[in-house]
Amino acid sequence: MDKKRRKGSYIVSFDTLLLQPVFKENNISTQVIERNGHFHISQKPIHVVRKSCDYYGGSLQNSTNSAKLAIGKRHKTPIIIAHDFGVPFIFLPTMSPNSRQNAWIAYSAIDNIEADNMGCIIYLENGLSFKFDVSATTMYRQFAVATLLEKNFLKKQRQLNRPSKFDFPDEY
């Protein structure tokens, strides 16, 4: 896990499944759930997402703006943190990104969403499940919006890889 730490910072990777806030006294830290394990770091989840966007050559603001351009203005917009060989790495927030209770879930890691009393249970690809104080309907919507974001990204990738059907002007 040391390879993912840079000067005390954690950077998400395709192994990162969930960034969950942990509250102790007045401090917020993050429980990082990865494909093959979990651990705590002292950063807030929003700081991990922001640093990861920066690390991969973007910014949280740019990722949010790009997502809103692609799928329309929505509350709690899922974002593409990075992409590798045409595969987008999408994270979706459970609440407003600036909320202290907000967790970030890797879209590709979600196996199922199930209603549970006043919240929901999210089942991850590694067999773990987590309860959130967010309605299942809200999380289904978040998942659907992330699907639209992924579809939009992949459509743009296909356009980038196909020859142009327009002739270039003579001055080129």
171: in domain: no
82: in domain: yes
pLDDT digits (tens, 9 = 90+) for 134-147: 999 999 999 999 99
Per the structure, the count of domains in the chain is 1
169: in domain: no
Domain of residue 80 covers 2-155
170: in domain: no
pLDDT of residue 22: 95
For 13, which DSSP code? -
Query: What does each C-alpha distance from 67 to 51, 64, 146 come to in angstroms?
Result: 18, 5, 9
15: number of CA atoms within 13 Å, CB side? 11
CB 48 within 8 A of CB 12: yes
Bridge-based pairing state of the strands 37-41 and 79-84: unpaired
Instruction: Give me the chain's average pLDDT, please.
Output: 87
22: in domain: yes
30: in domain: yes
167: in domain: no
Closest CA to 20 of 91, 117, 125: 91
172: in domain: no
